[in-house]
Amino acid sequence: MMPEMSDTIARLLRIHGRVQGVYYRASTVQQAERLGVHGWVRNRADGSVEALVQGTPDAVQALIDWAHQGPARAQVERVEVSEAPAEAVPGFTQAGTV
């Protein structure tokens, strides 16, 4: 269940490094579901991964913290985080490359 929109924050993440082909998107979906956050994750044509993460401040921060490491085979160089408008997005999905 999505938290009330007034209790929800949203962040757009850009994850750089060796983050494609290492199960990063699928692992992000698993972490998001575990934390109860909503949004999506997708590969970018430049080799980065982008994610829209929204939920309670604590849950969003927990996913941001996890994103700095990612799954075992990932080598994260940096994570850029910016504010984003919260939207009524059900669940957390893996989207196609843009």
User: So what's the pLDDT on residue 68?
Assistant: 98
Which of the four pLDDT bands, split at 50, 70 and 90, describes residue 5?
low
Residue 73 is a catalytic residue: no
Catalytic residue, from 14, 42, 43, 78: name it.
Answer: 43
Catalytic residue, chosen from 11, 18, 25, 78, is 25
Beta strands in the chain (DSSP E): 9-18, 38-43, 49-55, 75-83, 92-94
pLDDT at residue 2, as a whole number = 46
Give the CATH fold of the 5-77 domain: Alpha-Beta Plaits (3.30.70)
Lookup: tokens for 39? 């949004």
Query: What's the predicted TM-score (pTM) here?
Result: 0.90
How is the chain split into domains, by residue range? 5-77
Torsion angle defined by CA atoms of residues 55, 57, 58 and 59, in that order, rounded to the nearest 10 degrees: 20
pLDDT single digits (tens) 8-56: 899 999 999 999 999 999 999 999 999 999 999 999 999 999 999 999 9
Residue 76 CA to residue 72 CA, distance in Å, equals 10
Decide if 14 is catalytic: no
